[in-house]
A and B are shown apart, each in its own frame.
Chain A
């Protein structure tokens, strides 16, 4: 109880100070409007459907990008982790490509893909790819060889060993990769949506900037943060369920 109160104290005080200073005119309304104005904008934009539509468009890009980047990463990571020839063919190249900051590719991607949807989805996919690839690969590589051997002596075939030993063993690492991919994906989406656009949260914010609706810009930021928080929460829940065996360590 007191712990919860103490934890909530700082954000509440910050909000109150923000509201107070904005109302007192210390903060210029066009620089930083008070939280109440941001809430009001949220209410207004949800009622006229702007916020919902923007959110949906952004979510679609995020999900599509994560699916594409994640699937390719999973397949390549598994091939490199499981097959020696795959390791030689895939890993050095991916490790080298990792050095390219993918957000720096924006100008090149605009030349290749234009400024439409494919640019945004590609950016998210690129952002999600590397963390998932790296952690899939590392997760498979770090599996205790003794467990694989024990499974072999129990008569498990190669594919059964992959299913019962390698995949579950790589799962904790895979979840770490997913979490990093989610945050990299959101970041890529934010950057991608600032490059032109006809819809989405980024478009909503850029448009509001032109009309000096600072409260909508702040609202967009908050929604981005909220999305990141929710996706992380969903991931944690999935992790708790799938990695229940790790809790055994605590229950003992």
Chain B
């Protein structure tokens, strides 16, 4: 097992997972430091969601060594709120401390839904539901946030709002995060480090040195975007000839 430094939060080595005869993860090494946001990029079927599920403790059949903090929370692509519980009860699910009610209110206020605690999930829009899912993760005060394409199901405008929300929350709480995404722009905007997964392995790790606040027209953004798209074997502009 790898030695763990004080600042190291997640440590995974030689993670393998196959479904039937198909090897999805073929010896993945991964480390996340405290407070660090790492984006995991890869084509569909590259195993990025599988890796996140393993770190979330939802996959008991992977091999390799995995060390994650107990204090972690997950946000999925679908909000996965329980339809039969009101918003506040969804957020407080599994929170056993005596101040659960005040923490619920605080978490909802942080995502801008202070007044919707009494609503049923069915009464919320897609963007609001996903905010509640984020509040449900935040209330646990996680050291590690695992996000599986958290904004992937939202429309483009809502996605931009949620990315801004994420940046704000991160500045306040200082959590570390593993962000699984197929959105190259989102990965560059939000993360400190990018990992590209291909063929069941991490084929590239890139530090993102852009200054905050970041925008798609920040210097260096376009070059990084190009590089990532090449790694993902996707044409950078519609005019590029397919390779």
Contacts and interface: CB of A to CB of B under 8 A. Distances in A.
Contact of A149 (B58, B119, B120): B58
Interface of B: 56-58, 73-74, 76, 78, 80-86, 93-94, 119-124, 136, 140
A245 B76 contact: no
A236 interface: no
A154 interface: yes
Nearest to A243: B84
A164 B122 contact: no
Contacts of A146: 76, 78, 80
A252 B123 contact: yes
Interface in A117-174: 144, 146-147, 149-156, 160, 164-165, 168-169, 171
5 contacts: A152-B58, A154-B73, A154-B136, A164-B82, A245-B120
B93 A164 contact: yes
A245 B73 contact: no
A245 B83 CA distance: 7
B94 A248 contact: no
Contacts of A247: 120
A168 B56 CA distance: 25
A153 B123 contact: no
Main secondary structure of the interface of B (DSSP, over half): loop
Nearest to B78: A146
Interface residues of A, number: 26
Q: Which 10 A-B pairs have the closest CB atoms?
A: A248-B120, A248-B122, A154-B94, A150-B80, A168-B84, A155-B94, A153-B74, A245-B84, A249-B122, A252-B123
A251 B119 CA distance: 10
A246 interface: yes
Contacts of B78: 146
Contact of A153 (B73, B82, B86, B119): B73
Contact of B119 (A150, A171, A244, A248): A248
B76 to A, nearest CB: 7
Given A146-B78, A147-B82, A153-B73, A248 B58 contact: no
A251 B123 contact: yes
Contacts of A244: 120
A46 B173 CA distance: 73
Given A168-B84, A245-B120, A248-B121, 18 more contacts: A144-B80, A146-B76, A149-B80, A150-B74, A151-B82, A151-B93, A153-B56, A155-B140, A168-B82, A169-B84, A244-B120, A245-B86, A245-B121, A247-B120, A248-B119, A251-B123, A252-B123, A252-B124
A185 to B, nearest CB: 27
B123 A248 contact: yes
A246 B82 contact: no
Contacts of B80: 144, 146-147, 149-150
A252 B122 contact: yes
Nearest to A146: B80
B61 to A, nearest CB: 15
Q: Which of A153, A168, A169, A252 has the most CB of B within 10 A?
A: A153
